[in-house]
Amino acid sequence: MKIDPDNKADLSAQIAGAIREEIVAGRLIVDERLPSEAELADHFEVSRPTVREALKRLAAQSLIRTARGAFGGAFVNRLNYPDAYGQHITTSTLLLSMNAISFDVACEARYALERACTPLAALRRTPDTLATMRAEIHRQGQPGLSDESFCASDVTFHRALVDSAANPVLSYQLAGAVEAMQPLMNMITFTARSREAILGFHTRIADALEGNEAEAAQAALSELEAYTLTLGRDVMAARARPKG
């Protein structure tokens, strides 16, 4: 584990990179303890604050965890789903919001991915995931629900759809696409009429999954995509128009 002595980049970044490589390559295994900060500083021939900055970089990516006290130190962390979800969602959200991704492109990606889950969801949906979907459909029909709450419920519904596929890898990958869309969806004002329409699509999807009808669910999803697109385009058009 070495660093390039004539590299001009930050030492802490180099050290973090060297350790990260060891972890990704599997040469440092889960729960293994890294040398103490003092030992690392000695090994890399840098000061302790520099080592600490490197370790904080790794901690930010959930690659290590630290414990104080005797027999404490930095340990290779088992990357768990909640941490991975959080990172993925933060990255996806910022990628969308900072790069002027159009509503259309984000929408297309999200629904394409959701349709990918549908055959598995129709096969494996459980009473539990169906109940979640029904509950959210009911919530979405409540009058007086704020637009933001409606969006949050929408996300929960779609996450239940994805989770129905019972494939954690799929759920993880989809989390970014579904959650990152929420800020864009939050710009939409949902009228009573549009809520009713969305509710109809959601009901069709839940019904299709319950009946193990993958193609019907995919068809409903496609129609929901088209409908969402029109809602988004209306918002964009209204924004582009001179205010007044």
Partner DNA sequence: TACATTTAAATGTCTGACAATTTATTCGTC
Partner DNA sequence: GACGAATAAATTGTCAGACATTTAAATGTA
146's contact among DNA, its own copies, none, with CB below 5 to 8 A by partner kind, is: none
208's contact among its own copies, DNA, none, with CB below 5 to 8 A by partner kind, is: none
**Residue 46 Cβ vs DNA, minimum distance, rounded to whole Å:** 3
Cα(17)–Cα(58) distance, rounded to whole angstroms? 9
Sequence-distant contacts of 222-225: CB under 8 A, at least 24 apart? 222/111, 222/115, 224/111, 224/198, 225/107, 225/108, 225/111
Contact 4, 33 (CB under 8 A): no
Provide the strand spans (E) within the chain. Answer: 64-67, 73-76
Output phi, psi for 74, to 5 deg. Answer: -100, 130
Identified binder of DNA from the candidate list 43, 61, 62, 66, rule CB under 7 A: 66
24's contact among its own copies, DNA, none, with CB below 5 to 8 A by partner kind, is: its own copies
> Which of 6, 99 has the CB closer to DNA?
6
Cα(123)–Cα(126) distance, rounded to whole angstroms? 9
Q: Which residues contact 67 (CB under 8 A, 6 or more apart)?
A: 73, 75
71's contact among its own copies, DNA, none, with CB below 5 to 8 A by partner kind, is: DNA
Site string for DNA, 20-49 (x = CB under 7 A): --------------x-xxx------xxxxx
**Residue 122 Cβ vs DNA, minimum distance, rounded to whole Å:** 47
List residues near DNA by CB under 7 A. 8, 10-12, 34, 36-38, 45-50, 52-53, 55, 66-74
